[in-house]
């Protein structure tokens, strides 16, 4: 059973601070990792993807991947109230019949306090 | 505009009355999928399709059917809905191929209530 674990939160941070969201996964075969943002009642939207160990930066967002520890994180710098949402971690294996399947974590709810 | 559409967006129905939720994408994606999302349980996959006439079960297929007769459409069928199928449903699509970064695009969601 492939599992993706996230702290459900809520995680509260003050405006302008760094928000750190964490995700662990059980399947060592997982090769690509995605962070989705979901506002209440809306569909998930992709923020970042990463598949190599290390950091990947895109604007205020940085994804970090450590395959040895089976750990992926998302840092949001200069957090804004508009970042308040639920963040979903998703993983999938690269090869094989299941390579298009995404396994989602249950999400971490982030609240940015003005 | 590239998009995934779902209809209806909201539906209230009664136990046992067959219903279909439509899903259509205009991006020529091979892969399509249905998820349900419930509080505390996250997004769970119901069925997916790798291409026309190719469908397979996801994690929670019981009580659902799908078909893929055309590449763009992937309807979700509830032949005899029950209250435990009350949920928020999302359709999604993506390209297939070896590139790992192909984004999965989600539809706007269908909120279903079965009484």
- pLDDT of A50-65, one tens digit each? 988 999 999 999 999 9
B104 closest CB neighbour out of A41, A102, A106: A102
Spell out the long-range contacts of A24-28 with Cβ–Cβ below 8 A and sequence spacing 24 or more. A24/A69, A24/A70, A24/A71, A24/A72, A25/A70, A25/A72, A25/A89, A25/A91, A25/A103, A26/A1, A26/A2, A26/A70, A27/A2, A27/A3, A27/A91, A27/A93, A27/A103, A28/A67, A28/A70
8 A C-beta contact, residue B36 and residue A102: no
Whether A44 and B43 lie within 8 Å, measured CB to CB: yes
Distance in Å, alpha carbon of A81 to nearest chain B alpha carbon: 23
B99/A contact by beta carbon, under 8 A: no
Chain B residue with the nearest C-alpha to that of A2: B59
Best of B104, B108, B110 to substitute, by most chain A Cβ atoms within 10 angstroms, is: B104
pLDDT at A1 over 70: no
- Assign B113 a pLDDT band (cuts: 50, 70, 90): very high
Note the pLDDT of residue A75.
97
Q: Virtual CA dihedral for A8, A9, A15, A20, nearest 10 degrees?
A: -60
pLDDT at B85 over 60: yes
Least confident of A85-89, B61-65, B92-96, B105-109: B92-96
8 A C-beta contact, residue B87 and residue B38: yes
Distance in Å, alpha carbon of A104 to nearest chain B alpha carbon: 6
Note the pLDDT of residue A65.
95
pLDDT at A7 over 80: yes
Note the pLDDT of residue A88.
96
Best of A92, A106, A107, A109 to substitute, by most chain B Cβ atoms within 10 angstroms, is: A106
């Amino acid at each position: 059973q492939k599992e993706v674990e996230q702290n459900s939160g809520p995680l509260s941070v003050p405006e302008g601070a760094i928000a750190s969201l964490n995700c662990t996964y059980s399947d060592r075969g997982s090769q690509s990792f995605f962070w989705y943002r979901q506002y209440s009642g809306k569909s998930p939207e992709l923020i970042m993807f990463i598949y190599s160990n290390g950091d990947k930066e895109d604007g205020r967002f940085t994804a970090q991947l450590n395959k040895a520890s089976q750990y992926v994180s998302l840092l949001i710098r200069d957090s804004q109230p508009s970042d308040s949402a639920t963040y979903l971690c998703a993983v999938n294996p690269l090869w094989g019949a299941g390579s298009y399947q995404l396994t989602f974590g249950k999400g971490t709810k982030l609240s940015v306090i003005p | 505009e590239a998009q995934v559409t779902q209809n209806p967006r909201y539906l209230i129905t009664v136990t046992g009355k067959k219903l279909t939720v439509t899903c259509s994408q205009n991006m020529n994606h091979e892969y399509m999928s249905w998820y349900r999302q419930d509080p505390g349980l996250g997004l769970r996959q119901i069925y997916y399709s790798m291409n026309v006439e190719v469908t397979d079960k996801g994690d929670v297929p019981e009580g659902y059917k799908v078909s893929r007769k055309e590449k763009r459409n992937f309807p979700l069928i509830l032949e005899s809905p029950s209250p435990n199928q009350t949920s928020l449903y999302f359709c999604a699509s993506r390209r297939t191929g070896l590139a790992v970064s192909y984004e999965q695009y989600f539809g706007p969601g269908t909120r279903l209530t079965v009484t």
